[in-house]
Homo-oligomer: A and B are copies of this chain.
Amino acid sequence: MPRPTIQDVARAAGVSKSTVSRVLNGVEDYVDANTRRQVEKAIAELEYRPNALARSLITKRSLAVGLLISDVANAFYHPVIHGVEQIAIEAGYDTFLCNTNYEVERGLHFIRSLMSKNVDGVLIMSSSVSDEWIAELARHNVPTVALDWKPNISEGPLGVIAVDFAAGIQQAVEHLVNLGHCRFVHVAGPLNLPTSLLRYEAFLRALAWHDIPAADVALLEGNLQFEGGQRVLTRLLELSPRPTAVFAANDLTALGLISGARERGLRIPDDLSVVGLDDIALADQSSPPLTTIRLPKLEIGRSAMQMLLTLMHSDGAACPVHEALVKSSFVERQSTAAPRS
């Protein structure tokens, strides 16, 4: 048998559906205590649960938000997801998690799908973002919060969680320089992503501060994934002169590099010092435990969702782009050491 509707409840309680709706939404609205009890009884007996679709069709709010990430398998996202869910559940929102699989096209597909489902807001945590996504959302006035993305758009209910990589990178560089390293390589994320360049530049700036010229810093392109790190190690070994320290755009890449190094018989950190970025849960379980730059992942998720809530509730009021800044910090473990020579 099909689910009971509000009409069925009304019939069972001997009232009109308007009245049922009133007790359902339980606002400060006149409804007699007796009637209320009757309706509640009918609801319980029929195990009635309102149809969220019909409801949000008319109210224009779905109590749901979309969360776009690159890939669930990327451990960086796990605390982020938890953070988002903590705040979301607390506020009565559901989250739709979407794996873009690092593909811009697929992300767009999800954004359209989410919009057609009338989500109240969207969180974009995927590393490969496209301006087109944001534009599509802004055009239709969907509150949006993006992680680590400088939007070209200034209109629309848009928030940004900016990451201050500089502080952590600065400390990491200091650590490496103190150990005696002078030939560096950075394994970046896809170079078409603004964030990839930002991290690279922050690295260069920190090195320049220690009088190490950009010419002594090689740049290789990875894909932010484990196997990308494994693959790129081959190219790293072909560099001449051979770098003694590598800074990877994220921990997954760093762990891939370590794995690739082990396969080729290299010893970490003796033959090569490796620094990651993110501080995923695996980082201190790997061998050797990974020296890395920590991002406050849970906080990123929490404050992103918090910001989205603000955006969604202050609706209409054309506000400037919201922005929050989160800090990075350095974590020393055992994947870095003084160079051998």
> Which residues of A does B touch, CB under 8 Å?
1-3, 49-54, 56-57, 62, 64, 72-73, 75, 77-78, 81-82, 85, 94, 96-97, 99, 112-113, 115-118, 140-141, 226, 255, 259, 281-282, 285-287
Contacts and interface: CB of A to CB of B under 8 A. Distances in A.
A288 B174 CA distance: 32
A82 to B, nearest CB: 8
A113 B94 contact: yes
Contacts of A94: 96, 113, 117
A52 B281 contact: no
Given A82-B99, A97-B97, 8 more contacts: A2-B141, A49-B115, A53-B57, A54-B57, A73-B78, A94-B117, A255-B285, A282-B282
A237 to B, nearest CB: 20
A198 to B, nearest CB: 27
Contacts of A286: 285, 287
Contacts of A77: 72
A73 B281 contact: yes
**Which 7 A-B pairs give the minimum distances between C-beta atoms?**
A73-B78, A287-B287, A52-B116, A97-B97, A53-B53, A52-B117, A53-B57
B96 A96 contact: yes
B53 A118 contact: yes
Contact of A53 (B56, B73, B78): B56
Given A81-B99, A99-B85, A259-B285, A118 B51 contact: yes
